[in-house]
Amino acid sequence: MAAPSGLSTAEAQRRLAEHGPNAVPEARRHPLRAFLGKLWAPVPWMLEIAIVLQLMLGKPDEAAVIALLLVVNAVLSYAQESRANQALALLKQRLAIQARVRRDERWQRVPAEALVPGDVIHLRMGDLAPADLRLIDGKVQLDQAALTGESLPVEAGSGASVYAGSVIKRGEATGEVTATGTRTYFGHTADLVRTARTVSHLGSTIFTIVRYLVALDVLLVAALIAYALATGLPLADVAPFALILLVASVPVALPATFTVATALGARALAERGVLVTRLSAIEEAAAMDVLATDKTGTLTANRLGVAALSPHAPYGEEEVLRLAALACDEATQDPIDLAILDAARGRALLATLPTKTRFVPFDPQTKRAEAVYPAEGGERRAIKGAARTVAALCVGAPDVHAEVERLADSGYRVLGIADGVGDRLEFVGLVAMQDPPRPDARQLVENLQALGVRVLMVTGDGLATARAVAAEVGLGTRACGAEVLRSEADRGVPDCDVFARVLPEDKFRLVQALQRAGHVAGMTGDGVNDAPALKQAEMGTAVASATDVAKASASLVLTRPGLGDVVAAVETSRRIHQRMLTYTLNKIIKTLEIAVFLSLGLMLTGVFVVTPLLIVLLLFTNDFATMAIATDHASFSQKPDRWHVRTLMVAGGAIAACLLALSFSVFFAARAWLGLTLPQLQTLMFLMLVFSGQGTVYLVRERRHFWQSAPSRWLVLVSLLDIALVGGFATRGILMAAVPFALVAGLLLLVSAYLVLVDFLKIRVFRRLGVK
């Protein structure tokens, strides 16, 4: 067949101007703008408000410290997450190849970016298809696993479509370009990646907690102003006190604590072969309750194997496999041929094979491959191909329809084997092929289910194959086609365990549907077709064999085969959640205790029980010191973790009430019996709040008795250093009135003993409210 003439250079230039380059547009964002974006969100807003309030109070040093903390938060977040935005650049690199194109009636090489619809290009074995095209001439075998998720190669001849990004495994062909750039199947996936937006729950949770705390403080400030107006107390004295009270309610160290905790978690995961590209995904993984996982290369080994042999009398299994291997050619690198040859090698059959005199590779039109070999009485033919096609060639062949259907329903690809002389062929038997599940897949599914995570399978393979693999790895058997996602995406999540024949947008729709239904969704995958869903999911995980595009779109990247490390990621994230729960509970308790104690103390006694300066100092000694919680030892829960802010507020309020009782008792007892001056009394109450604040960390770090597990060395060290520092300031009169050492030591013992008693009440409160 004569080669098509193709386009002229002038016509190609005209179409290039019309359609644009054959490339995926990259959304470029200035690095400075991207960094400043880290300062525009609910959590940074809280720190920025705190800075403004500190400046209003004439405290530039404290404002500078908080500003430094804000910048550190942004730098950590920017550095950790910048890699997650490389997906579009990698997609563009995938298209940055050279193409053999016919222009001006001669073949030449041009950059793939210069291809236009109507160009005639030639593909050879090993090439990456640079655009969508329709084949004009020739035959090729395509590997489209990274695009469609199908594990088996696809044969394509004249008139067939080839997608951009497909790998040519065998053969040569000429085709006409039908689509370029974002109009290709590959480019459409890139668009989905660009529009995907990960849902983050952490910022809104923190903001909700602060909203409760600030609302309480606003009420207390209003009460203070009303008290000042009623008693004639100068507003000039009350205003700074009220403002510093609001500052104390803003958890200035909370974002930094979350960042440090997740960064330490990312480091621990990296040691286990899990790379984190988006820090917030670690916290989100703690709440993940549904994991949608790809099949090919994720739950399965992504390589074909002989699963079953069904001989037809008088032949046996070994004869079926020997003749099947004879009709294979290792040089073609055909996955089916390689699997059969591996199976024959395992049974030591290859050494018994005769030398072939002629070999005809698999032809999509005849649906068979053939080997001719010498034998007694002349040459014989060994044939391998589609089961029904091969059976139809044989004399007296059995009806294989029922057996083929049975094997196909089990997820196998079935081949027929025949042997004979000339046209007198005998049916030898069937060979069932399968991409086998990974040995660890079933255990993985069981481990995730034990952690309260429902596992779904999404695959580009057919229903029968998907259902069979799902049954083998322990998933449910409710299998659905992709059409249920297209028809029901707006009405909810279909009640299916397996979704087959899915396209990239179907996986994307599934993740969005899960998120709309209130689930925290995880997604695992390895191909270009998985990239949009990986980026959309709260915990998108790319497996070790994933394409660069999938890895850049994911928030977690595995470096070891299989999904075993996903379990480690979930457990690590839940440990981090427990640490953050400890910090948050401690902050709620201390804010309630400090705000109520300071406000009621002023209204009950007419004096400031703690000075504004000591409140600022308390902010640093409590909030910043307790950042060491990020290093604490913590167990993980057996169910997905969710933030129940109202429950935390109630639980924190109950414990804060106990501490308030102690604070007021110490204040009135010291004023009545110890003969302290007001400045000394204020120092004593400052120490009281610091000691109880540090003790509360240990009180709430476990839902059981606090002495039943050991805290981290760093947490203990920081607590001891904090107590020693404020104790030294108090005894030496630095930044506060001096008090005797014996009084400081006695107060520390009193607070410690009291918290042991509160611990028993804590267990009852946590159990009643369901705090876990």
DSSP E strand boundaries for 42-131: 98-103, 106-111, 120-123
Q: Report whether 559 contacts 268 (CB < 8 A).
A: no
Convert 228-247 into a string of H (helix), E (strand) and C (coil).
Answer: HHHHCCCHHHHHHHHHHHHH
Q: Report whether 577 contacts 641 (CB < 8 A).
A: yes
Residue closest to 219 by CA, chosen among 190, 198, 191, 249: 249
Q: What is the mean pLDDT of residues 115-135?
A: 85
pLDDT bin (cut points 50, 70, 90) of residue 34 is low
| 41-99 confidence digits (pLDDT tens) | 655 776 677 677 767 767 676 677 667 767 766 776 666 455 434 433 444 454 346 78
Tell whether the model's pLDDT for residue 684 goes beyond 70.
yes
pLDDT confidence of residue 190: 60
Q: What is the mean pLDDT of residues 602-627?
A: 78
Q: Report whether 329 contacts 141 (CB < 8 A).
A: no
Q: How many CA atoms lie within 13 A of 290 on its CB side?
A: 22
Residue closest to 695 by CA, chosen among 744, 634, 762, 748: 748
pLDDT confidence of residue 91: 40
Cβ-based burial of 701 (10 A; exposed 0-12, middle 13-18, buried ≥19): buried
pLDDT confidence of residue 87: 39
Cα end-to-end distance, the chain, whole Å: 73
Tokens of 238: 């009350």
More confident residue, 611 or 319: 319
Q: How many CA atoms lie within 13 A of 131 on its CB side?
A: 32
Which stretch of DSSP H or E encloses residue 95? helix 87-95
Q: What is the mean pLDDT of residues 747-767?
A: 92
pLDDT bin (cut points 50, 70, 90) of residue 384 is very high
- Which of 385-389, 406-410, 494-498, 501-505 holds the top average pLDDT? 385-389
Average pLDDT, whole number, for the chain? 81
CA distance 406 to 630: 56
Which stretch of DSSP H or E encloses residue 133? strand 132-143
CA distance 115 to 161: 17
Tell whether the model's pLDDT for residue 667 goes beyond 50.
yes
Q: Which of 116-120, 177-181, 249-253, 280-284 has the lowest mean pLDDT?
A: 249-253
Amino acid at position 173, single letter: A
pLDDT confidence of residue 108: 87
Task: Number of helices (H) and strands (E) in the chain: give both, helices first.
Answer: 27, 21
Residues found in the chain: 772
pLDDT bin (cut points 50, 70, 90) of residue 203 is low
pLDDT bin (cut points 50, 70, 90) of residue 706 is confident
Tell whether the model's pLDDT for residue 424 goes beyond 60.
yes
pLDDT confidence of residue 84: 38
Cβ-based burial of 656 (10 A; exposed 0-12, middle 13-18, buried ≥19): buried
Architecture of domain 308-433: 3-Layer(aba) Sandwich (3.40)
pLDDT bin (cut points 50, 70, 90) of residue 481 is confident
Q: Which of 45-49, 258-262, 563-567, 666-670 has the lowest mean pLDDT?
A: 45-49
Q: What is the mean pLDDT of residues 680-698?
A: 92
Amino acid at position 486, single letter: R
Phi then psi for residue 36, to 5 deg, are -65, -30
Q: What angle do CA 659, 205, 507 make, to 5 degrees?
A: 150
pLDDT confidence of residue 335: 82
Instruction: Kindly list the distances between the CA atom of residue 276 and the CA atoms of 80, 286, 292, in Å, as whole numbers in the listed order.
Output: 8, 14, 19
- Which of 87-91, 364-368, 393-397 holds the top average pLDDT? 393-397
Instruction: Kindly list the distances between the CA atom of residue 216 and the CA atoms of 35, 281, 451, 649, in Å, as whole numbers in the listed order.
Output: 33, 31, 37, 11
Phi then psi for residue 509, to 5 deg, are -65, -40
pLDDT bin (cut points 50, 70, 90) of residue 717 is very high
pLDDT bin (cut points 50, 70, 90) of residue 250 is low
Q: Which of 3-12, 60-69, 290-299, 659-668 has the lowest mean pLDDT?
A: 60-69
Instruction: Map out the domains of the chain as residue ranges.
Output: 9-25+90-179, 265-301+437-569, 308-433, 575-769
Percentage of residues in the chain having pLDDT higher than 90: 20
Could you count the other beta carbons within 10 Å of the beta carbon of residue 1? 8
CA distance 599 to 174: 83
Which stretch of DSSP H or E encloses residue 93? helix 87-95
| 128-169 confidence digits (pLDDT tens) | 788 889 998 888 888 776 565 555 677 888 888 888 877 787
Q: Report whether 539 contacts 307 (CB < 8 A).
A: no
Tokens of 274: 């899990």
CA distance 181 to 113: 8
DSSP E strand boundaries for 240-313: 274-276, 290-294, 305-311
Those residues with Cβ within 8 angstroms of residue 636's Cβ, 6 or more apart along the chain or in another chain: 570, 571, 572, 574, 575, 578
Cis upstream peptide for 314 (omega within 30°): yes
Tell whether the model's pLDDT for residue 377 goes beyond 90.
no
CA distance 427 to 630: 68
pTM above 0.85, yes or no: no
pLDDT confidence of residue 540: 87
Tell whether the model's pLDDT for residue 199 goes beyond 70.
no
Widest distance between CA atoms in the chain: 123
DSSP 265: H
Residues acting as catalytic residues: 294
CA distance 544 to 642: 29
Cβ-based burial of 412 (10 A; exposed 0-12, middle 13-18, buried ≥19): buried
Write the CATH number of the domain with boundaries 9-25+90-179: 2.70.150.10
Q: DSSP per residue over 197-208, as a string?
A: -----HHHHHHH
Beta bridge partners of 132: 179
Q: What is the mean pLDDT of residues 366-391?
A: 89
Q: Where are the alpha helices (DSSP H) in 610-737?
A: 612-619, 645-673, 678-700, 713-732
Tokens of 183: 């109009």
For 765-768, which contacts have Cβ atoms below 8 Å and span 24 or more sequence positions? 765/651, 765/654, 765/655, 766/651, 766/703
Percentage of residues in the chain having pLDDT higher than 70: 85
| 573-607 confidence digits (pLDDT tens) | 888 888 888 888 888 888 888 888 888 888 888 88
3.40.50.410, 1.20.1110.10, 3.20.20.140, 3.30.365.10: CATH of 575-769: 1.20.1110.10
Instruction: Return the CATH class of domain 265-301+437-569.
Output: alpha beta
Tell whether the model's pLDDT for residue 479 goes beyond 50.
yes
